[in-house]
Amino acid sequence: MTRNIRSLSFVASQAPEAQEGLEELVARYGNADPDEADVIVALGGDGFMLQTLHSMMNSGKLIYGMNRGSVGFLMNRYSCDGLPERVARAEENICRPLEMRTIDADGNRREALAINEVYLFRQSYQAAKLRVVVDGRIRLEELICDGLLLATPAGSTAYNLSAHGPILPLEAPLLALTPVSPFRPRRWRGALLPDHVEVQIDILEPEKRPVNAVADYTEVKSVTSVRIVQSENSTAIILSDPDHSWSERILSEQFQY
């Protein structure tokens, strides 16, 4: 697919390297208003890319990232040359985020979206004690652990991988449910779930064992219940170079040693 690129809008993190890239690219290509640009070009690392995807959620804008950060798994390589041509040939990947719905200790309800993962983690020195319910059926009556996360294919190579969870191909209709330092049950190492299920996590003994919940970078403290479903209405579109596609990056991660 080759698209017609008439204007680009550049955004960058505050990192010096990203700001230098911003200055270089704007001097060469100009900087269109984000509302009028064909493509938003994000300069920074994966964290900044997630922020950009969230800010452009449901806008229909195409997001093309270039790595000017530390990890840059979500990003393309940085180069000032031939950028409109690269963007024109880039592949589209549609991200459908997870919806996190929480209830905290005061009864407050909050919602947030997660492109990578929703994760729960203990707030104090004591391990979390959780009940895991999938589509209304209790699957784990009691899970004692440091944390628990539900990752999308896009997020399966992030925190999920660090917690020894499985890497999911980008096209797989699956979610990875992965415990962090599980103590009981000892042999439970997680599960692969269809992406259409509803996962509910109830915090047991929340006063004694407080737990926080995070959707990408939105944190809710002292939750008592967390429900997670894949969003039916929200999407973000990320572009990747054909010779280094997002699907290829995820596949390559499975052969690292």
| Residue 2: CB atoms within 10 Å | 8
More confident residue, 190 or 169: 190
Topology annotation, domain 98-230: Tumour Suppressor Smad4 (2.60.200)
Model confidence at 243, pLDDT cuts 50, 70, 90, reads confident
Q: What are 183-202's pLDDT values in tens digits?
A: 999 889 999 999 999 999 99
Of the residues 33, 46, 195, 216, only one is catalytic, namely 46
116 has binding-site annotation: yes
Residues 6 or more apart from 21 whose CB is under 8 A from it? 12, 43, 66, 68, 78, 80
Measured distance CA(22)–CA(39) in Å, rounded:
15
162 has binding-site annotation: yes
191 has binding-site annotation: no
Q: Is the pLDDT of residue 257 over 70?
A: no
Q: Is the pLDDT of residue 67 over 70?
A: yes
pTM above 0.75, yes or no: yes
Q: DSSP letters along the chain, please?
A: -------EEEEE-SSHHHHHHHHHHHHHH----TTT-SEEEEEE-HHHHHHHHHHTTTS--EEEEEE-SS--TTSBPP--TTHHHHHHHPEEEEE-PEEEEEEETTS-EEEEEESSEEEEEESSSSPEEEEEEETTEEEEEEEEESEEEEE-TTTTTTHHHHTTPPP--TT--EEEEEEES--BSTT---EEEETT--EEEEESSTTTS-EEEEETTEEE-SEEEEEEEE-SS--EEEEE-GGG-HHHHHHHHTT--
154 has binding-site annotation: yes
46 is catalytic: yes
**Token pair in block for residue 232:** 């039916």
70 has binding-site annotation: no
Domain boundaries, the chain: 8-96+235-253, 98-230
Average confidence score pLDDT of the chain: 92
Q: What are 1-33's pLDDT values in tens digits?
A: 677 888 999 999 999 999 999 999 999 999 999
In terms of phi and psi (left: phi > 0; alpha: psi -120 to 50; beta: otherwise), the region of 164 is: left
82 has binding-site annotation: no
158 has binding-site annotation: yes
**Token pair in block for residue 212:** 């926080």
Superfamily of domain covering 8-96+235-253: Probable inorganic polyphosphate/atp-NAD kinase; domain 1 (3.40.50.10330)
